[in-house]
Structure 1
Amino acid sequence: MGETVDMTEADGTRETVRRHLAAWWETNARDLPWRFGRTTPWGVLVSEVMSQQTQMSRVVPYWRSWMAAWPDAAALAAASTAEVITAWGKLGYPRRALRLQECARVVANECHDDLPETYDGLTALPGIGDYTASAVMSFAYGKRIAVIDTNIRRVLSRVFDGRESLGGATSRADRELAQRVLPDDAVRSTVWNQSVMELGAVVCTAKKPMCERCPVSAECRFLAAGRPGLGERRTRPRQRFQGTDRQVRGLVLNALRAKPQGSQTIGREEIRALWKDRVQLDACIASLDEDGLIEMMPDGSLRLPD
């Protein structure tokens, strides 16, 4: 009997959390241009790729410009590499831009410009992993599927397990919890995925959650336990940006992007002025060339690929 009561209580808590979050989403969801059925499945995929490791507020203007220039996979597939790298701007991790164009070429040439509507079809595309495929299935196609990102994992772990999410790779326990609390109805599951993700992004944040504004604070086991281990993360070296290869690579790409369209080339002297450490600079240029982000010319100049 005790176990039955516990299960009933758990089911009741899940349903209460779902209702409160759905109501909160209805009045508090950010009005992002790819939400609420205002874009195509391809537009949703572009937004998800751009949003990886990038703040949403930075993504919006890039997404608008990108979709205005290349509204579907066929249009992006036909663009030059230089145009794509330039349009990516300072979103970071520019290899994502090349992978997105590679994906567009497959969709345009092998899928008749129609984005696949199955999880397996999406994950077969270049650069599309579990999270992006699940997000497109839920947000673009309205399918019942658990979407799991850092924000969702943090909210679910806190609310239902009463523990802090320490980051790292998604565990089996994370997937089991996400599946267990996912509504059975497809429409409700889409709202659930969106609302949980949104709550983690703007209220149930990593270091300073605004519990006083949370619509499910009354059901949150983490808050009830006194927020144990708030903000803790897995031990790892502190990441820095200054002086890293990532900074140097960014300087080179930014110098090329700043050139007029059609003549995005920088000469040897301009290259040398970008960074004092010649060994590091040369290594970063070589890595950019290997990644297909630049072309090294016989005279030592650099240009964006055609």
Structure 2
Amino acid sequence: MPHPLVPPVLDWFGTHARDLPWREPRCTPWGVLVSEVMLQQTPVVRVRPAWEAWMARWPTPADLAAAPTADVLRAWDRLGYPRRALRLQQCARHLVDHHDGVMPTTEDALLALPGVGAYTAAAVMAFAHGRRSVVLDTNVRRVLARTLDGVALPHPTLTRPEHARAEAVVPADDATAARWSAAVMELGALVCTARSPRCDVCPVADLCRWVADGRPVDAHAHRRRRQGWAGTDRQARGRVMRALRTSDHPVPRSVMAADVTDPGQLGRVLDGLVADGLITPLVVDHAHGEDDPVYRLPS
């Protein structure tokens, strides 16, 4: 017998699932992996056009593996966390070198790919290969924390007991398990949201321990406060990357200083981007002028 949560969530998903290109039957396992990497910390509304353009340009791992890294970073544009683009290209090159450009079909082999962690491997198993796996993103964890544990949000760190409890809910057969993973994730994204849950339209509100207990507040709220955006190194990194993405030529540090006015922060950000492999410093002879380092995207 399936867990009581499964049938109503699957029924709801049959009516309310979003029409997303990476869910189409014709989507390749590579396309699913690209979508999962892009969707990490980036909303669907921004990912969809980027994913479509990306897949049109680099439909296979071999295509991406052969692309200039500068083009890859420019195509990543404003999806955020551009190291994901580098990891995706590293993954493509690994697939070409070790798997003849074909996505593996086992979770262990997926975990061996550069930049692929437990969540991404499980998601590819479910959404690309239709196999049973335990897919635990923030949406799934939140739904299960509320319905089963009666807490507003799960613990900030995934624990082994939480993983075991989630696995106990996943249906036994591959097809239903894969559909459950997509359905419960969708429920968390559209209904059981973090800030404004729509319990009045939730298909499992009558089974939800959190609702039954009066929707108690989040016990981990003090650990979830996010750093502001303005003035942070992350914002400065974004500005530097934007300057390089939009230029056909190397960009002097003095030009980037117009956007990042704190010299200490600019130096720290440039050093970090170089260390991450996202930008490359050029050696320029300034024998007749003031030293002004120049940077470009990696080739």
TM-score scaled to structure 1, two decimals?
0.91
The letter of the residue matching 1:303 is R
1:60 to 48, 56, 59: 48
Instruction: Tell me the amino acid that sits aligned with residue 302 of structure 1.
Output: Y
Pick the aligned partner of 1:76 from 59, 64, 71: 64
Distance 2:94 2:207 in 1: 45
Identity %: 48
CA shift in 2, pair 1:236/1:211, >3 Å: closer
Shifted more, 84-93 versus 272-281: the winner is 272-281
Which residue of 197, 200, 215 maps to 2:188? 200
Q: 1:115 aligns with which of 85, 103, 107?
A: 103
* Cα pair 1:160 1:221 within 8 Å, conserved: yes
Unaligned 5+ segments in structure 2 are 285-292
Aligned equivalent of 1:5: none
Query: Mean Cα displacement is larger for which, 166-175 or 212-221?
Result: 166-175
Tell me how far 1:191 sits from its aligned partner.
1.0
Unaligned runs of 5+ in 1: 1-10
Q: Select between 81-90 and 277-286 the one with higher mean Cα deviation.
A: 277-286
Partner of 1:155: 143
RMSD: 1.5
Partner of 2:289: none
Please name the residue that 2:254 is paired with. Answer: 269
Of 5, 9, 22, which aligns to 1:34? 22
TM-score if structure 2 supplies the norm length? 0.93
- Indicate which of 131, 135, 140 corresponds to 1:143: 131
* SS class of match (2:24): coil
Aligned residue number for residue 296 of structure 2 = 303
- Is residue 226 of structure 1 aligned with residue 214 of structure 2? yes
Residue 34 of structure 1 aligns to a residue in which SS? helix
Partner SS, residue 121 of structure 2: helix
Q: Which position in structure 2 is the counterpart of 1:209?
A: 197
2:145 and 2:154 in contact (8 A); partners too: no
Distance in 1 separating the partners of 2:226 and 2:118: 27
C-alpha separation in 1, matches of 2:37 and 2:20: 15
- Aligned residue pair count: 291
Give the deviation of 1:164 after TM superposition.
2.5
Could you say what secondary structure the match of 2:22 adopts? coil
Q: Does 1:293 align with 2:286?
A: no
Deviation per CA, 1:53-85, whole angstroms, max 9, x where unpaired?
111111101101111110010000000010011
Letter in 1 for 2:151: R
Aligned to 1:243: 231
Equivalents in 1 of 2:253, 2:230: separation in Å? 23
